[in-house]
Structure 1
Amino acid sequence: MSRQFATAILSNGVRLASTPALGSAQTLSLAVRAGSVHETVANRGASHLLSMFGFQSTENRSPVNIIRESELQGVALRRFRDRDLLIWSADFLPSQLDYAAGLLADVAHNTRFEDYEVRDLTVAAGKQTAECLANPSAFAMDLLHNMAFRSGYGNSLFADQAALSAQPLTAVKDFFKQRMTSDNVSLIGYGIDIVDLEFALTNTFKALPTGAEDATAKAAAKYFGGESYIPNLHIEENVMAIAFEGVPLNDARASASIVLEKLLSTNSPVKYGASGIAPYTGKLVATEPASSLIPFSLSYAATGLNGVLLKAPSAAIGGLATDVVTHLKSLTGTVDAAKLTAAKNAAKMELLTTAESRTGATHHAAQHLLLGSATTLASIDAVSAADIQKLVTGMLKSKPTVAFVGDISAAPQINLN
């Protein structure tokens, strides 16, 4: 991890972590292994809907009461979700720790799941999904996961309203009950002394039940690969996501995966002057201003994806994709020492700056406590050229995954030979 966290464990096994804040405001977060990877065909969309049930009716509070009391106390409520985790957070003044702890405990123990709420939240979730998937890049990345893993990590982050409407409320309740166990939960404080945090939470979270060993993510991590081409002639540029099987968060190669992302990056630290275009894409991107290349390294609890997201007009998309694959192949043989150093420094800088934010620090801590993430500044520093070569060689042995949205007549084929 990039920041030093103090940790503790409650008597029932709930894990705690806390880190100093840069200011006086504090944050308490409830993180749960309840992301979309844990959904099945029987409860598809439950994770999305469950995230929205946070801060709704509980046995002790109505939604109106939560909103009014939080406003009165100056408390800001947030939610976050990805394929592994759901996180509910409260930002508050130092004097409001007991209120925040009680509220999050109410979410964990006493959420009511009222019928009228599920109807309203289903509509709201459907609107969220429509808005997100209207973005071609978001749609391509979601489709990419589906093609790569089919189910599990291939489950969509975005539940459509029709699927949610077809699910009985009991499916969401059962999902909540299965996931809200002491071994799946961690509580993370930002700007809260670990002793104060443990004191505030010992009684409020002691009733969480224990659960069976969580093997859901591992069972859902099988990589398949594949291709999907979706015609859309109404967007200005084609979107193409290309990925290969990556590594999980607790894998020793996870740091090399992050450094590889920076080796593929075209971003420049210079605001004016330098083009910031990597040599292998310079000609295409420079001559096509609408083109862009966004590399990604996505590591989860039990698997990962490494790849690039390309955006380009029809005349440029094929050449850009070919150059990316050519450059990846070259990294199996030679890794420039200066570029490797720059990539490692960029990876460390991103880790540090992300962890300086409340959201970033909380997510890092949750990944460490619940998912086994072991990436640190030291592990990034230790990445060698041989590590990159080995990682890329393994990636290119996997079947590529491609998601293309746009003018499919311009869609290139990925040739690894």
Structure 2
Amino acid sequence: MASTLTKTPLLRSISSRGYAQLAPIGGISNYELKSTTLPNKLVLVSAENESPLARVSVIFRAGSRFESVDNLGAAHVVRTAAGLSTRNASQFAIIRNLQQVGASLTATSDRETIAYTLEGTRQAVEKVLPFLSEVATEQVFKPWEIAELADRLKLDLAVRPLQLRAVDLLHKAAFRTGLGNSQFIPKFQIGKISSETLQHFVSSTFTSGRAAVIGLGIDNSKLTQFAQGLNLDSSAGISSVNPYKGGEVRSDKGGEFAFVALAGEGAALTNTKEALATAVLQNVLSAGPQVKWSSNDNGVVPRAIGNTDGYSVRGINASYSDTGLVGVLLAAPAKSAGKIVEGAVKALKSGNISDADVNRAKNLLKTNLLLELESGSSAVQSYGTQAVLTGAVRSPADVVSAVDSVTTADVRNALQKAARKLTIASVGNLSEVPYADQL
């Protein structure tokens, strides 16, 4: 989920003199990460990647899992409200100043975090850093501006693909509350979340001990000065403990296709060994075709399903601070959905994983991690999530080295853990989709 205040298209034609070899737009990949914790417990991560672009992100543990029955959807509204008037700047001033220097400010959120990321040239980012501070920490939520967000919230709900809805329901069935809260505001809550409710949610979650500041391509001293100047309370805030429960949710929408998410308990980010094994397991189950326009998938789930036309499968893995989910997402024609779901469940419960499957999956995972390293935006997001949820940061290059230590036994153990109690969520035409007790 993302809300972009202003985004300038990247010019594809760039003219420069050939006197020196310039760093690539994403900078170098073997940079050193500097991580410190300020006295107020705010985590600060910086790196000089020699990129002409700078990126600064302020991230909080303030996702939808921290909502209660009374404020369901608050995280969605807070994200959507990014860029509205703040204590010291109007909405017009924020957008105008960002556009004036050619920078962009984006708000993203998931079930555990909300992040505000500023991107632009180094000079541009330095000029508009105060506006990042305003948007991230000085919200006022004026009632008339919040009321105008209703149409945007309705649009977000209307354009949700059924695949995303299936994963949303998967969390609901697996955790019920907390992590089971949707990333989207319920329809019945639109227009009912007041400014006071939003202020209370922010004051309970936007605290220094629940925050991290990440900077790439910006001087460490300037980033430290920026982080120290953030107006953040030092209270502990609210907590959310959500053990995995498992279950089933069905949402019959009709149509020609069925979308089914199957998963079991995964691993927490704080358990590095299990988290890596689960990430490898995701690619073992199904990583999708690796050749453009191809339909071949060497994952264990497609092999178990066999020769059935017209379906798609992808491995899913969601690791949170204390637990996770791992499994597959299926999209199939309604008439053949039963056979496909049964084949996927059989693969998850069989535990039939070979050394070749694990080696292939490890190579796929390492490739994805290194590609993430080449993208400054993805790297900032990854570092921010690690910093705010675990208090420590490891570069993708370090994680790649750790992936090699994952054994076939580790992956089999992760699969056995997931298969003990499967969660099933399905959306679409469910006429042929079996119930959980039939599998």
TM-score over 0.5 for the pair: yes
Which residue matches 2:208? 182
Q: Which of 234, 238, 243 is the aligned partner of 1:210?
A: 234
Choose 171-180 or 3-12, whichever is displaced more. 3-12
Which residue matches 1:157? 183
Which residue matches 1:343? 361
Which residue matches 2:341? 321
| 1:13-66 deviation line (CA, Å, top 9, x unaligned) | 221112344630111111011100010011111111111222211122110111
**Structure 1 counterpart of 2:41, one-letter code:** G
CA distance in structure 1 between the aligned counterparts of 2:393 and 2:33, rounded to whole angstroms: 13
Choose 183-192 or 316-325, whichever is displaced more. 316-325
Which residue matches 1:51? 79
Which residue matches 2:90? 62
Identity of aligned residues (%): 28
Which residue matches 2:149? 121
Answer yes or no: is 1:388 the counterpart of 2:411: yes
CA distance in structure 2 between the aligned counterparts of 1:18 and 1:211, rounded to whole angstroms: 25
- Contact 2:54 / 2:121 at 8 angstroms: preserved in 1? yes
TM-score (norm: length of structure 1): 0.90
| Alpha-carbon distance change, 279 to 364 in structure 1, aligned in 2, over 3 angstroms | closer
**Structure 1 counterpart of 2:417, one-letter code:** G
TM-score (norm: length of structure 2): 0.86
CA distance in structure 2 between the aligned counterparts of 1:280 and 1:309, rounded to whole angstroms: 11
Superposition map of 1:11-410 within 5 A = 11-21=39-49, 23-132=51-160, 135-202=161-228, 204-205=229-230, 207-212=231-236, 216-217=239-240, 219=241, 221-234=242-255, 236-251=256-271, 252-271=273-292, 275-278=296-299, 281-282=302-303, 286-288=307-309, 290-331=310-351, 334-372=352-390, 376-398=399-421, 400-410=422-432
- Contact 2:305 / 2:343 at 8 angstroms: preserved in 1? no
Unaligned runs of 5+ in 1: none
**Structure 2 counterpart of 1:304, one-letter code:** G
Backbone CA RMSD of aligned residues: 2.4
CA distance in structure 1 between the aligned counterparts of 2:95 and 2:368, rounded to whole angstroms: 34
Unaligned runs of 5+ in 2: 1-29
Deviation at 1:396, TM superposition (A): 1.8
CA distance in structure 1 between the aligned counterparts of 2:350 and 2:378, rounded to whole angstroms: 33
CA distance in structure 2 between the aligned counterparts of 1:316 and 1:296, rounded to whole angstroms: 22
| 1:138-173 deviation line (CA, Å, top 9, x unaligned) | 111111111111110000100034313223321111
Deviation at 1:4, TM superposition (A): 4.6
Partner SS, residue 382 of structure 1: coil
Partner SS, residue 216 of structure 1: coil
| Alpha-carbon distance change, 266 to 74 in structure 1, aligned in 2, over 3 angstroms | closer
| 1:96-125 deviation line (CA, Å, top 9, x unaligned) | 343332112222442221111110123312
The one of the two structures with greater contact order (alpha-carbon pairs below 8 A, sep at least 6) is 1
Partner SS, residue 189 of structure 2: helix
| 1:172-216 deviation line (CA, Å, top 9, x unaligned) | 1100111111101111112223233213433x22x422112x662
CA distance in structure 2 between the aligned counterparts of 1:405 and 1:302, rounded to whole angstroms: 27
| Alpha-carbon distance change, 43 to 136 in structure 1, aligned in 2, over 3 angstroms | same
- Contact 2:62 / 2:112 at 8 angstroms: preserved in 1? yes
| Alpha-carbon distance change, 285 to 69 in structure 1, aligned in 2, over 3 angstroms | farther
